[in-house]
Amino acid sequence: MEKLVNTIERLGGVNLLPVALAVVAFVLIGNPSSWVTLTVAGLAMGMMIFLMASGLSLVFGLMNVLNFGHSAFVSFGAFVAASVLAGLSGWLSGDSIMLGALALFLAVSAALLFGLIAGWFFETVIIRPVYEDHLRQILITMGALIVSEQIILAVWGGTPTAVPRPDFLEGALIIGDISIEIYRIFAFALGLVVYIALYAVLNRTRIGLLIRAGVESREMVEALGFRIDRLFIGVFMLGSALAAVGGAMWAGYETLISPALGGEIMIIVFIVVIIGGLGSIEGTLLGAIMVGLVGNYVGFLAPKLALASNMLLMMAILMWRPSGLRPAVK
Amino acid sequence: MTAIANASTARQRTKGETAIRLVVLTIAALLLFAPFLFQDVRSLEVAAKLCIFIVLVASYDLLIGYTGIVSFAHTMFFGFGAYGVAIFLKQWGAGWDAIFVGSLAGIAVSLAVAVVIGLLSLRVKAIFFAMITLAAASVVLVLASQLSDFTGGEDGMTFRTPSLFKTATKLLVDEDNKVVRLFGVKLNGKLAAYYFVFLSCLTLFVLMLRLVGSPLGTVLKSIRENEARAEAIGYRVVAYRTFVFCAAAVAASLAGSIYAVWLKYTGPDTTLSFSIMIDILLMVVIGGMGTMWGAVIGAVLLVMAQYYLRDLMGVAAETTANLPLIPDILNPDRWLFWLGIIFILLVYFFPAGIAGSIMKRGAPRATSE
């Protein structure tokens, strides 16, 4: 028994959970082609959720600030990207892949830029005055969420907005009897690139070193003479921008978005950061992929349970590990 | 925060406290005579909703104001109570036994869920708790709209209440077999229903007032102020927190049952939706956290605003239709936007809310600091 535990630990410990999940699902589903389709869908969804959740997790880890308004960045990102894509719809339908890609790039960049600016504004105006006071943080960010939802309602209206996609991302790849939507591959790839970039910055650069040190012990880093509050604004802006990009990707995935989007996403994002453990990028990725996979598998196996599945997953993991799968050292 | 605790435990009442108490007593008197003072259907709706929301907000204040627990699952318990009564009235037909068993079932479910959530997650930080309750509430909302055979789904369910509460029921008849009028008000079933709501809500509110005034209430406040110290003195913080979470859940569940009996309808939008949770949060913060009186004031202000301010904004927007920008700002659909901004400003500048800020007035400097 002990030997088995050691082997699992050496192979990756909790990181094996998604693999174990996929294996169990393979047995339960029993049909390889639908299993592949579901797994790819789950991974793509997980990567998009990771984009949205990573910022929240880092911000909490570094500054002990929980932003209940985080989902506002997601919805703003989605709507800004949708507007840009709608404005450039001429480029999307043309034959040229270049123009389509450019339009997509512009849409994602617009979301990114918006996220950066909104994040800066949010940090300095809303959150700065209530550091170190959790109750008021929750209340104020909740108030900000209400206000931003109302702004979205006022600007884009309450009816669902259609999101055009570039032609080259439409359709599906068919290998044998397995069909995989191209957009999902794109979403997965983008998420992976962002994860690798984040991982590299956090583990290979001086700034990343400071951020990791700040997560572990903020006072110590300040005592050594670093201005951690400036660093924090940077992390906050980056986190908001990632959330906005995640929102933009989500808009393209859903193709029809409504102002209720933020509220739905918020629950999933919270579940992901709780499962993964607040403050760590690896944990967030793990949590996001678990949630994505479980959502898709359960949706196929027992559609009635699908919406409660994330909650059950969170309960189970919290009972096993009360501070999440891979929490940052605190 | 300390200011509120000190002000309310001070030996002699400040002028502000007396003022707030007078205001609350006036509100209670107005609600008591509401059917006679405001003789139209809509006003009675508003008065009944006020009674129920005062209880709901006060029970939420037990959590957020007195104990410092932020929960987003309060509408969940409200919904359990409402759906309990609704399901039993639907299945067993209109009868007092259905109301009684239904509310008990609602309380039982609320208690069970509250104990599980409480023991599982009240040990962790406030922030985890807030997130977990949010997730739990959203799951219940989804379940309520999915299990449509049982709960009526998105449409909710309408049902009949005991015949005493029917508008056609005559409480007192004169010799011509016509319903007796008292000060021009027909003594019919609607009046009975309103007083059922008023008296049950009053009982619940007084019970909660008694709870926070008891030694137990003092322990709760001490946990809010300094958790480690309360633990060190020898109070089991987790046990107290779980207890108050359960107490608040039961109160919310009963409020839900009363609301269901009054509306003769239960659906996700009237009991479970997230916007009601936000309303409760706004009411508590605007009124003043940590005072039962604040809950009354917040609930009254916000419910009145919901019913009347929107109309007023609509009228204002129409009369200024020719001016630039102003009609857009005054658009009744934008009212939640303004409420959100007021909410943020209040949390910044008057964290004690309206009641808390006024109660501090006239307090000796030493206790207010």
Q: How far apart are CA A114 and CA A78, in angstroms?
A: 11
Cβ neighbours of B337 in A, within 8 Å:
146-147, 150-151, 154
- Inter-chain residue contact A153 with B333, CB threshold 8 Å: yes
What is the pLDDT, as a whole number, of residue B368?
39
Residue A1 lies in a domain: no
- What are the structural domains of chain B? 2-368 (1.10.3470)
3-state SS assignment for residue B205: helix
CA distance B253 to chain A (A): 22
Place of tokens 């219940």: B140
User: Comparing C-alpha atoms, which of B343, B130, B152 is closest to residue A150?
Assistant: B343
Tokens of A97: 């892949």
3-state SS assignment for residue A323: coil
Task: Point out the residues of chain B with pLDDT beneath 50.
Answer: 1-5, 7-8, 10, 366-369
State the CATH number of the domain containing residue A298.
1.10.3470
Note the residue count of chain B: 369
Establish, for the pair of chains A and B, how many residue pairs have beta carbons separated by less than 8 Å: 95
φ, ψ of residue A9 to 5 degrees: the values are -60, -45
Q: Is A267 on the interface with B (CB under 8 A)?
A: yes
Which of A124, A136, A150, A275 to mutate against chain B (most B CBs within 10 Å)? A150
User: Comparing C-alpha atoms, which of A118, A77, A82 is closest to residue A103?
Assistant: A82
Contact A305, B107 (CB under 8 A): no
- Inter-chain residue contact B337 with A154, CB threshold 8 Å: yes
DSSP state letter for B183? T
Q: How far apart are CA B134 and CA B75, in angstroms?
A: 10
pLDDT digits (tens, 9 = 90+) for A108-124: 899 999 999 999 998 88
Residue A294 lies in a domain: yes
Q: What is the pTM of this model?
A: 0.79
Each of the 330 residues of chain A gets a pLDDT tens digit; together they read 677 777 777 766 777 788 888 888 888 877 888 888 888 888 988 999 998 898 888 888 777 777 888 888 999 999 998 888 888 777 776 667 777 788 888 888 999 999 999 999 988 888 887 777 777 888 888 888 888 888 888 888 778 888 887 777 777 777 777 778 888 888 889 889 999 998 898 889 998 888 888 877 888 888 998 888 888 888 889 989 999 999 988 888 888 888 878 877 888 888 888 888 877 888 899 999 999 999 888 888 877 777 678 878 887 887 777 777 877 654
Residue A325 lies in a domain: no
Residue A18 lies in a domain: no
Picking from A144, A151, A308, the nearest residue to B139 by CB comes out as A308
Other Cβ atoms less than 10 A from the Cβ of A305: the count is 12
What sign has the CA pseudo-torsion A16, A239, B277, A323?
A: positive
- Inter-chain residue contact A318 with B138, CB threshold 8 Å: no
What is the pLDDT, as a whole number, of residue B324?
65
Residue A330 lies in a domain: no
Cβ neighbours of A317 in B, within 8 Å:
none
Contact A282, A48 (CB under 8 A): no
Contact A5, A255 (CB under 8 A): no
Residue A133 lies in a domain: yes
Picking from B281, B333, B339, the nearest residue to A142 by CB comes out as B281
pLDDT digits (tens, 9 = 90+) for A297-314: 888 887 777 767 887 888
Q: What residues of chain A, 144 to 163, have a C-beta less than 8 Å from chain B? A: 144, 146-147, 150-151, 153-154
Q: Is A307 on the interface with B (CB under 8 A)?
A: yes
Q: ipTM more than 0.90?
A: no
What is the pLDDT, as a whole number, of residue B329?
67
DSSP-assigned beta bridge partners for residue B157? B266
Structural domain for A74, as ranges: 31-320
Q: Is A66 on the interface with B (CB under 8 A)?
A: yes
Picking from B120, B278, B343, the nearest residue to A318 by CB comes out as B120
Picking from A60, A270, A311, the nearest residue to B139 by CB comes out as A311
**DSSP character string of B153-175:** GGG-EE-PPPGGGSTT-BSSB-T
Cβ neighbours of A310 in B, within 8 Å:
135
Residue A223 lies in a domain: yes
Domain total of chain A: 1
Q: How far apart are CA B227 and CA A46, in angstroms?
A: 38
Residue A168 lies in a domain: yes
- Inter-chain residue contact B347 with A153, CB threshold 8 Å: no
CA distance A136 to chain B (A): 7
**DSSP character string of B79-141:** HHHHHHHHHHHHHH-S-HHHHHHHHHHHHHHHHHHHHHHHHHHTTS-HHHHHHHHHHHHHHHH
